[in-house]
Structure 1
Amino acid sequence: MTTYNEDSIRSLDWKEHIRLRPGMYIGKLGDGSAYDDGIYVLLKEIVDNSIDEFVMGAGKTIDITVHENKVAVRDYGRGIPIGSVVDVVSKINTGGKYDSKAFQKSVGLNGVGTKAVNALSSQFVVQSYRQGVTRIAQFGCGELVSDEQKETSQRNGTATSFFPDESIFRNYKFRTEFVENMIWNYVFLNAGLTINFNGQKYISENGLKDLLERNIDTEAMRYPIIHLKGEDIEIALTHGQQYGEEYYSFVNGQHTTQGGTHQASFREAIVKTVREFYKKEFDAADIRSSIIGAIAIKVQEPVFESQTKTKLGSQSIGPEGPTVRTFINDFIKKALDDYLHKNQDTADALLKRILQSERERKDIAGIKKLANERAKKASLHNRKLRDCKVHYNDKNERNQETTLFITEGDSASGSITKSRDVQTQAVFSLKGKPLNSYGMSKKIVYENEEFNLLQHALNIEDGLDGLRYNNIVVATDADVDGMHIRLLLLTFFLQFFPDLVKAGHVSILQTPLFRVRNKKETIYCYSDEERQRAIAKLGGKPEITRFKGLGEISPSEFGLFIGKDIRLDPVILSKENKLPQLMEYYMGKNTPERQRHIVDNLRIEVDLEEELAKAAVTA
């Protein structure tokens, strides 16, 4: 038993605590391959301050640059009071947002965000321009390095730049798509705001209507977007052709990716209003099937379930206001009902979509019941799934780390199973190539045993609310068969659960192609360029191994690739890639166009092992 006495008790200062427990302040760390990785939270914390200035009527433009590892944000608001520049970014519980008159409906209320960015950056510089005076404070890992004050002719505002600390965020890289999505959300929610990001201008005139048009294929919409605005609330919704439900929810400009009380109230209010309008008790699932909706509300002193503010916990919109549920329900009940009465074509199209969903649900009711019974029995001894102990829908500090690896065959799954973290990493093993589900109805999900078991392992049959893993990682070999299996799995997700992909939960596992080593050092390489650099670094004649499949990698080695240094390629959908056409082209019938594409892009690969042998001889 270890000694426990007064010497065991430690008091950490603010920066030590943030650096020791970064997850408490920014969620997971990550390397930038997921939209909610820590480096994007750092950027968001700084931009949130500039947004709050805009909301208060100070500064209509924000300049953001992200170049390699450096982030810079400049706003043209009031500027941090000159005498408080250092304190505001380095003293916990210091800031202007405790004065409710100054920041009535701010995102950040606890005075922690900017301090976390400071503590978790190898270099952090804040500069305030205010009434002809500027003060510049530079920090390193939270420690003040320099502090200078002088006159200036620049416009009022605040400039902040930082480098995320590479000792904390390992091998990180900012992905432009994720930063762009964040910026688009800011301008969608703040009419009149202009953001310049890396030289490109972002601005929105129609708020949430623009958001839906950017994120969905307008050709697939069943009726024009319903766009409604009130005091402190804005909604937009339509129905598409896809399965499932898709929501974008915001509180005081914060993207609540995990929903919360406002999103639950939104879903409930739509069902209630539609039932009353058509005077029929439709099943809630039929009303919401294929819905695409967005809601933004503003509340005083919002309560979130974590510092990263991804899920709203507030029950009330203000100290003396109604509950969130009542506020949203009352607005939608009147505004949506009025809209449907005034727009008969939309009302007819909505009814047609609901009736279609009802027919589809009844058509598969029988097979769904049998499939669920089979899945329930299989779950008692499901050899395909090696589960973990913590799940995404648990209230656990590690729930963000939960990962399901989908592997091909027993050899690959065996290596991952032996080297995984049993607390947060699970493995689902495929028995071979899954079915090409393109163009099939959801009935196939229940008829196909493998699809049904995968659906139940993820717990996504009725939407993402019960999702059991934050990260769904496709882990297949980097050969032709592995690529084919990868495409078949992505087709399954995009066909039946597109919201899973759009929410950023699906990624591809990168595993090393080569191992280059000598007696002193081993380097794992993920590309031929990395292999060349490794050979040059080690010199002489290092041993070079080419991994042909995941099953060849020993469990002890595999543990290196799925731990803190895991490399993931996120599956990202953009508006430019129209999903129906994309899937038809690659996964539909073998058209002449696709044949020509294959012929025009055919590559003849020389046997790599032969080339390596020749290279070794030459060396």
Structure 2
Amino acid sequence: MGKEDDMRNGEVYDENSIKALKGLEAVRVRPGMYIGSTDTRGLHHLVYEVVDNSIDEVMAGFATKIDVTVNPDGSVSVADDGRGIPTGIVPEEGKSGLEVCLTDLHAGGKFDQNAYKVSGGLHGVGVSVVNALSTWMVAIVKRDGKVHRQSYKTGIPDGPVEVIGETDETGTTITFLPDPTMFETVDFDFDTLQNRFRNQAFLNTKVTINFEDKRSEKRDTYHYDGGVSEFVKFLNRTKTPIHDSPICINGEYHEKDAEGRDRVVIVDIAMQYTDGYNESVDSFVNTVSTPDGGTHMTGFRTSLTKSLNDYGKENNLLKDITLEGSDAREGLTAIISIKMADPQFESQTKEKLGSSIAQTAVTSIMGEKFKEYLDEHPQVAQTILKKAQSAYEGRMAAKKARDATRRKSLLESTSLPGKLADCSEKDPSKCEIFIVEGESAGGSAKMGRDRAFQAILPIRGKILNVEKTRQDKLLDHDEIRNLTIAIGGGIGRDFDISKIRYHKVVIMTDADVDGAHIATLLLTLFYRQMRPLVEQGYVYLAMPPLYRVMKGKTQRYCYNDAELAKAVAEMGGPDAKLNISRYKGLGEMNPQQLWETTMDPDQRYMKRIEIADAMLADQLFSTLMGDDVEPRREFIIEHANEVTNLDV
């Protein structure tokens, strides 16, 4: 491919398109500024940055295929059939465009408006940041009839760009190994990556993404002709829609900038209501997820609520009520995808859009097209309005229930549940609460705890499945009401993270099927009704030991079968006189044992619950806790070999 191919649609993409701003040292000093964090979320962001560059080639019309491979050594390869990063000498820099792109911060074709009209890799820091945070990286570029190669160590080239062969193909392949000194973990998760690639294929109907994990031999291919409509159908596969097909709204918004140039925003929306109570509305800009929303999400929500109120009142379907946004979105699954030049985000990780034109564009197109749809589909409109009115009534009932709970607690001169053994410390950042399965284990925990900073709340049996319950019914359930009052932040739409009483909320259940079910019910409650608790990392799973191995007065606790085998071997082997106890429940441990193994901050092992991908978490809870049995069965079969420590 030559320069004449680069100039399709007037776009020029060569070494003259590369603009540079110096310096990679700061990336290794403060990596969180560039990738959001150094935990599993930041690790996966490395892959997203590289793949986003390939997606930009797809959106520009120059690529149709992306191959992503997790290699046996933990490195990742991303290959596309785009134009290939320019390899000629950048005049201002005196070195190859490839080297400039991969070693200089804020360098790339995204800064040249003739190279990319629409781009997800907005800031041009993506691949260079990945390079800086990798032990090594290798770039191979097929371009201008040649195969070019350059390798790097922690962002520093091993040598100049070399020509290693000839080819009639084009494209770029980036392979990198994350630096373990930069991250808390360097173990990539197949499901997290799979979800990201699937989403991008839904948003780009022309691309085929092949994903392979050579560590587990898992592989999959993603290509969807149906776009965002097919995306919504996929998200609703575990739910029950209340109208047959997703509502599709799309269009282009044009306005002139201060210099008279045409600014275009392409809007593509699909939405479908279900009989559930949770909303699942996800937004994207240039195919990059914006989990914190932004101006395009504001435009959608405002227009949706106004359109339903206007239609309901014009057609006498809403009697003396005005819907709020939460009423209009109850049970809604929607995808808002926009594409635009030069979007403005609030951070490098592109999690919240700030461009004002996006709000105007979505509000305008949504307002016009959704009204047309409602007018042309009166039966669907009535179904949606009936659902929204039911949500309004549920919200009012929930408000009354909360008010009654507050009044009742005041009349009884107590605001904390009687079963709660609270701690004496009042600073939430120093306090933790253990939610313990069963009265017996709760009693042991109360006696074994450190009363200064540890609170204990026993729960009896399985709590209500909040995935299938409207909020006004939740506070009628004793255990959920006790949990809500004890934690202190409220519940549902009124949850206030600043009012919580503990910064560690620890779920402590037995290591059996019932314990796993109780833990899942509690996690569903926290995610659906107290979501900031999970988002800010305040929710933990206690990990009590499964075994105790004793030899004379020497004892060791083991948390899985591998640790047990190791302990047995180190304490004399199978022929030694060992006393091995298998704990089937927390209640089998006395207070001292429970403290030593599960509650002592100096010795315990706990798992913090994190949301690496909000959309994936939403799908997981819908699958595990929804009404549809088949997707849950498929999930269990697929992940059965990953289960450990399950006593059936």
Name the TM tier (shorter chain): 0.7 to 0.9
The change in CA–CA distance for 1:403 and 1:431 in structure 2 (over 3 A counts) is closer
Q: Of residues 103, 109, 119 in structure 1, which corresponds to 2:116?
A: 103
The one-letter code sitting in structure 1 at the alignment partner of 2:519 is R
Kept in 1, the 8 Å contact 2:109–2:115? The answer is: yes
Partner of 1:351: 385
Once the two structures are TM-superposed, the CA of residue 413 in structure 1 deviates from its matched residue by 8.8
RMSD: 4.6
Task: Summarize deviations over 1:19-65 as a string: whole Å, max 9, x none.
Answer: 232211112222x4xxxx12210100000000111111111111111
> In the TM superposition, what are the counterparts of 1:166-245 in structure 2 within 5 Å?
166-198=180-212, 199-217=219-237, 220-223=240-243, 224-231=245-252, 232-245=266-279
Residues 26 and 308 in structure 1, CA contact (< 8 A), matched pair in contact too: yes
Amino acid at match of 2:471: K
Q: Is the 8 A contact 1:189 1:253 kept in 2?
A: yes
CA distance in structure 2 between the aligned counterparts of 1:416 and 1:304, rounded to whole angstroms: 46
Report the counterpart of residue 131 of structure 2 in structure 1.
118
Q: How does 1:569-608 map to 2 (within 5 A)?
A: 573=620, 579-582=626-629
Deviation at 1:371, TM superposition (A): 2.6
1:473-499 deviation line (CA, Å, top 9, x unaligned): 7443425663353244256468x6599
Whether the 8 Å contact between 1:215 and 1:574 is mirrored in structure 2 is no
| Residue identity opposite 1:169 in structure 2 | F
State the partner residue of 1:55: 59
- Shifted more, 211-220 versus 328-337: the winner is 211-220
Change in Cα spacing, 1:447 to 1:565, as seen in structure 2 (3 Å) is closer
C-alpha distance in structure 2 between counterparts of 1:468 and 1:257, whole Å: 24
Structure 1 portions without partners, runs of 5+: 1-12, 318-323, 392-401, 421-426, 587-602, 606-619
SS of the aligned residue for 1:462 comes to: helix
User: What displacement does 1:14 show?
Assistant: 4.3
Q: Which moved more, 1:165-174 or 1:84-93?
A: 165-174
Q: Residues 545 and 406 (structure 1 numbering): CA distance in 2 closer, same or farther, change over 3 Å? A: same
After superposition, residues 419-434 of structure 1 pair within 5 angstroms as 429-433=456-460
Q: Does 1:283 align with 2:313?
A: no
**Partner AA of 2:627 in structure 1:** P
Residues 1:444 and 2:468 aligned together:
no
Q: Residue 175 and residue 132 in structure 1: after superposition, are their counterparts in 2 closer, same or farther (change >3 A)?
A: same
Q: What amino acid is the match of 2:128?
A: K
Amino acid at match of 2:197: I
Partners of 2:120 and 2:286 within 8 A in 1: yes
Q: 1:419 and 1:101 mapped to 2: Cα distance? A: 64
- The one-character-per-residue Cα deviations of 1:167-217 (angstroms, maximum 9, x if unpaired) are 333444322221111011111111211111125321111211111111123
Supply the distance in 1 between the matched residues of 2:205 and 2:109 (Cα, whole angstroms): 24
Report the Cα distance in structure 1 between the residues aligned to 2:625 and 2:607, rounded to whole angstroms: 32
Q: Percent identity?
A: 30
Partner of 2:91: none
User: What residue is the counterpart of 2:641 in the other structure?
Assistant: none
Rounded to whole Å, the distance in 2 between the matches of 1:571 and 1:419 is 36
Counterpart code for 1:573: L
Counterpart Cα distance in 1 of 2:152 and 2:556: 34
Instruction: Give 1:236 shift.
Output: 1.3
Distance in 1 (CA, whole Å) between partners of 2:479 and 2:295 is 35
Which aligned pairs between 1:5-404 and structure 2 lie closer than 5 A? 14-30=23-39, 32=40, 37-68=41-72, 69-82=74-87, 83-147=96-160, 148-153=162-167, 155-198=169-212, 199-217=219-237, 220-223=240-243, 224-231=245-252, 232-279=266-313, 280=318, 281-284=321-324, 285-312=326-353, 314-317=354-357, 324-372=358-406, 378=415
Query: Which residue in 2 is equivalent to 1:612?
Result: none
Deviation, 1:304, is 2.1
What is the DSSP-based 3-state SS (H/G/I as helix, E as strand, rest coil) of the residue aligned with 2:282?
strand
Cα 1:536–1:383 change in 2 (3 A) is closer
* Normalised TM-score (structure 2): 0.71
SS at match of 2:360: helix
Evaluate the alpha carbon distance shift between residue 352 and residue 575 of structure 1 in structure 2; reply closer, same or farther with a 3 A threshold: closer
Deviation at 1:434? 5.2
Following the alignment from structure 1 to structure 2, what is the Cα–Cα distance between the partners of residues 436 and 240? 24
Secondary structure of 2:248 counterpart:
strand
Q: 1:287 to 1:570 in 2, by over 3 A?
A: closer
- Describe how 1:510-529 pairs up with structure 2 within 5 A: 510=543, 513=546, 526-529=559-562
Q: CA offset at residue 345 of structure 1?
A: 2.1
Size of the aligned set, in residue pairs, is: 544
- Distance change in 2, residues 1:504/1:106 (3 Å): farther
| AA partner of residue 580 (structure 1) | D
Measured in 1, the distance between the counterparts of 2:488 and 2:186 equals 30
**Separation in structure 1 between the aligned mates of residue 179 and residue 338 of structure 2, nearest angstrom:** 34
Q: Contact between 1:407 and 1:428, CA under 8 Å: does it hold in 2?
A: no
Deviation string for 1:220-239 (max 9, x for gaps)? 11113111111211111122
TM-score, length of structure 1 as denominator length:
0.74
Q: Supply the distance in 1 between the matched residues of 2:97 and 2:83 (Cα, whole angstroms).
A: 13
3-state SS, counterpart of residue 118 of structure 2: coil
Q: 1:579 corresponds to which letter in structure 2?
A: G
Decide which moves more: 438-447 or 122-131. 438-447
SS at 2:109 equivalent: coil
Whole-angstrom distance in 1 between the partners of 2:25 and 2:549: 38
1:17 to partner: Cα distance: 2.5
Deviation at 1:141, TM superposition (A): 2.2
**Secondary structure of the structure 2 residue equivalent to 1:214:** helix
